[in-house]
Amino acid sequence: MPSVALITGAATGIGNLTARALAAAGHTVYASMRDIHGRNAGRARELLDLGHSEGQDIRVVELDVQSDSSAEAAVATVLDEAGRLDTVVHNAGHLYVGYVEAFTPDDIHRLLDINAVGIQRVNRAALPHMRARRSGTLVYVGSTTSVVVPPFLGPYVASKFAADALAQVTAYEVGQFGIETTIVMPGPFTQGTEHFPNAGHAGDGERTRAYAELDPLVARNEQATEGLFPPGVDAHPRAVAEEIARILALPHGTRPFRTVVDFSQAGVEEVNEVLRRAQEDFVTRLGFGDLLRVKETRS
């Protein structure tokens, strides 16, 4: 059944591709981004024009995940216009590349605020409505980095660990109100996003220079990543958008808790399965096994 979906960080990359994929599948899509009348005005207009030309219901809404009031206003707009909110796709994020020591505490605070706390802001805006309806779906665009832990991305990896933990523990609780959770874990991509070109760098230049002998390793990071892809494979992030559309097309109660979209053959699925069994055993022995299943609350 087509849903009303709010997507964060939809100006570019996976968020933009997901907005297009869900709209093509018949969903009402609220593609959110910052500064829709300024620097992202062109990107907003492109999505609106696409919806108009293809007969799709794509709308654009202002949302800065670093602002409580912006998150509240965006969700209020969706509810005022569409009357409901069925799905939130948590996609907004930023990348830092560099040496961990060289990132100042303020640098790391900022990245955690975008990549993890931003999720909490949007959930706090959306969940009261979903709980009242006792239905909804939260889709988190996570990362395989929280399993494979690559070098030179320290604050980013830490923020994705934090976001993944928030998603998991939130799922225990909101599942008792009929709200489903799926964590989509993309592997690395070197095309189709602005992650690497727009990556942030450490604020402490002196500490960065102290690691200069490692600079050649950082310089070939993108090339090294591309070398992980099998020959002839089109490692494009549109595959993530297609996977999100596939998941939302599944019947309520059958959506996977985790799914991996990874062309680097990192073995993340196997790690996830071991982790799942350990977590389920532990939570069950605590006496909270019911929290592992989404409660069916609809007639």
Residue 298 has pLDDT above 60, yes or no: no
What is the C-alpha separation between 136 and 130, in angstroms, rounded? 6
* pLDDT reported for residue 27: 98
Residues 6 or more apart whose Cβ sits within 8 Å of residue 267: none
- 8 A C-beta contact, residue 86 and residue 30: no
99 catalytic, yes or no? no
What is the C-alpha separation between 129 and 126, in angstroms, rounded? 6
When pLDDT is averaged across residues 160-164 and rounded to a whole number, the result is 98
Point out which residues pair with 141 in neighbouring strands.
184
Residue 198 has pLDDT above 90, yes or no: no
Model confidence over 34-47: pLDDT tens digits?
999 999 999 999 99
When pLDDT is averaged across residues 12-35 and rounded to a whole number, the result is 97
Q: What's phi and psi for 247, nearest 5 deg?
A: -65, -45
Catalytic residue among 99, 156, 172, 211: 156
What is the C-alpha separation between 256 and 249, in angstroms, rounded? 12
Percent of the chain with pLDDT over 90: 87
How many residues in the chain? 299
Residue 91 corresponds to which tokens in the numbers above?
A: 């996609």
In the chain, the domains with their CATH numbers are: 4-292 (3.40.50.720)
Closest CA relative to residue 294, chosen from 196, 179, 134: 179
Model confidence over 96-128: pLDDT tens digits?
999 999 999 999 999 999 999 999 999 999 999
- Give this prediction's pTM: 0.95
Model confidence over 267-291: pLDDT tens digits?
999 999 999 999 999 999 999 999 9
What is the C-alpha separation between 264 and 151, in angstroms, rounded? 15
Residue 196 has pLDDT above 80, yes or no: no
Residue 97 corresponds to which tokens in the numbers above?
A: 């590349």
Burial of 73: CB neighbours in 10 Å, binned 0-12, 13-18, 19+: middle
Point out which residues pair with 31 in neighbouring strands.
7, 60
